[in-house]
Structure 1
Amino acid sequence: MSLTLSLDFQFTSSIEKVWSALTDSSKLAKWTMENDFKPVVGHRFQFRTQPTEWWNGIIDGEVLIVDVPNLLSYTWASGEKHTVTWTLQDLGDGKVNLHLEQTGISNDQALAGAKYGWGNWFREFEKVLEQ
């Protein structure tokens, strides 16, 4: 059985700024983790954070889809292999909807952890958009 996390976030920003916060390695590091991400299909990258006794702190990924500034998808592997897909929609009036879908999650505990993690990160994401 595979579970999917599906979240929507609305921002008062331009779609270009939201895209940049998702794809620019230095901006990405400000709201998630250190990384060597590039928005290039086939690029392999890592997110890196402090290891713990349960986890080495590394998430491996490979970029699957880049459709500027509407769609970004990549693998997310840390033990389990997930697919993370971002869909951006310009709602007009300076508002953007950002839809996150993370597929391949194996159990409710992992789903709850992913939801918690993204929720925390999105508080930081908003700060990046304001810069």
Structure 2
Amino acid sequence: MSEIRIVCDYPHAVGKVWRAVTDPELIPLWTATGAGARPEGFAPVAGNRFRFVAKPKPGWNGIVDCEVLEVEEPSLLRYSWTGGDGQGDTTEVVYRLRPCDGGTRFAYEHTGFTGVGGAFMARFLGRVRRKMLASGLPALLDDLDEHGRLRSGRLPGPGA
């Protein structure tokens, strides 16, 4: 089974990082460095069904169906992930946040990929997630004030 595990330390408070990764208005601002997915119907509430919508590509309709499985604000978000018209594996994504020296340690896990197709998808998504967590999320965090509000007046949305 293939998986993605990424750990990043950010010089920002846990509450601020939590808001950046769970506020539907802010999520597209950091995911824009990847496929630009925006959440539809997302709320960090167990049982909530939502989807990520991105630009379709050959072999993929651009939609990922998800369900929030567990939430412990501001330290844990766990949700299922099923992409491509319900085809392929249903995998699981987990965000873990905890205080560390000077800020927040953010651990991203995406597990449950199986077979050759799953290994390919894990490799592809791993590259995309690393870019989003190394570039997109830090830029957004730097643009939020101490209360998690945008400083510069950027408009939410991919490419904003």
Shorter-chain TM range is: over 0.9
**Residues 39-118 of structure 1 correspond to what in structure 2 (within 5 A)?**
39-78=44-83, 79-93=88-102, 95-106=103-114, 107-118=118-129
Q: Which one is further off, 63-72 or 25-34?
A: 25-34
* Identity among equivalent pairs (%): 29
Q: Which of 111, 117, 125 matches 2:137?
A: 125
Amino acid in structure 2 at the alignment position of 1:77: T
The separation in 2 between residues aligned to 1:4 and 1:34, in whole angstroms, is 23
3-state SS in 2 of match to 1:120: helix
Higher strand share: 1
Aligned pairs, number: 129
Amino acid in structure 2 at the alignment position of 1:80: D
Q: Which runs of 5+ in 1 are unaligned?
A: none
Deviations 1:21-66 (A, max 9, x none): 1110011111122112110110100100111121100011000111
**Number of the residue aligned with 2:155:** none
What is the TM-score when the length of structure 2 is the normalising length? 0.77
**Does the alignment pair 1:22 with 2:17?**
no
3-state SS in 1 of match to 2:125: helix
Moved over 4 A (4+): none
The separation in 1 between residues aligned to 2:59 and 2:28, in whole angstroms, is 22
The separation in 2 between residues aligned to 1:5 and 1:71, in whole angstroms, is 17
What is the TM-score when the length of structure 1 is the normalising length? 0.92
The separation in 1 between residues aligned to 2:89 and 2:69, in whole angstroms, is 17
CA RMSD of the aligned region, Å? Answer: 1.2
For the pair shown, the structure with the greater C-alpha radius of gyration is: 2
